[in-house]
Amino acid sequence: MKVLAITILALALATTAFGRILTRCSLAREMLDLGVPKDQLARWTCIALRESAYNTTLIYTNTNGSKDYGIFQINDRWWCQPSDGSFSDNECKIDCVDFLVDDIAPSVTCSQQILRQQGWTAWHTLKFCNGTLPSIDDCFVC
Ligand SMILES: *[C@@H]1O[C@H](CO)[C@@H](O)[C@H](O)[C@H]1NC(C)=O
Ligand SMILES: *[C@@H]1O[C@H](CO)[C@@H](O)[C@H](O)[C@H]1NC(C)=O
Ligand SMILES: *[C@@H]1O[C@H](CO)[C@@H](O)[C@H](O)[C@H]1NC(C)=O
């Protein structure tokens, strides 16, 4: 049992260390494939750059002790359940660690829900990503 626990811990650390880093265009293409409207992609890729530098495994601890998870830095007080059992509204009904996987689908699904419920201002980094942004079309030329 102890050996298993240590193995799982080692695997968890390895996953964290070798997490997936996307690029502006790989993120844009995968989000389009997941059904995100194309006219949102310039903004989402800007937010992901500012929030996580496209790092799917990033966890940031805020000054109030809450943590933000993954490529879109989703907060563990409102949107996902942290593994230490602290209270969360868990609006996206998901464990926070499930945002840290290579597959961006869980982060994208929850981010779309946050956008519907709170709008873009849920992301503090919107201040860098508001107004007119560079076109995303260069990511979709054949
Ligand atoms: C991505 O974030 C993880 C967790 O903070 C970190 O260990 C890793 O070095 C980061 N990757 C890059 C390329 O910065
Ligand atoms: C803690 O700070 C983060 C980042 O500023 C914020 O998103 C979150 O809502 C705050 N949590 C509470 C409970 O106020
Ligand atoms: C973003 O732009 C809109 C429309 O111009 C403006 O109303 C809003 O205050 C801006 N928000 C931020 C965070 O800059």
| Structural domains in the chain, sorted by start | 2-140 (1.10.530.10)
Q: How far is the CA of 121 from the centre of ligand 2 (A)?
A: 13
Show the DSSP H helices in 2-137 as ranges: 2-17, 24-33, 41-52, 105-118
Alpha-carbon gap, residue 75 to 83, rounded angstroms: 13
> Using a 6 Å CB cutoff, which residues line ligand 1?
16-17, 19, 21, 55, 57-59
Q: Which atom of ligand 2 is nearest to the CA of 78?
A: 9
- Do residues 88 and 80 make contact, with C-beta atoms less than 8 angstroms apart? yes
Q: Is 39 in the active site?
A: no
Ligand nearest to the CA of 121: 3
| Per-residue pLDDT of the chain in tens (142 residues, 90 and over written 9) | 444 454 444 545 555 556 899 999 999 999 999 999 999 999 999 999 999 999 999 999 999 999 999 999 999 999 999 999 999 999 999 999 999 999 999 999 999 999 999 999 999 999 999 999 999 999 998 7
Ligand nearest to the CA of 100: 1
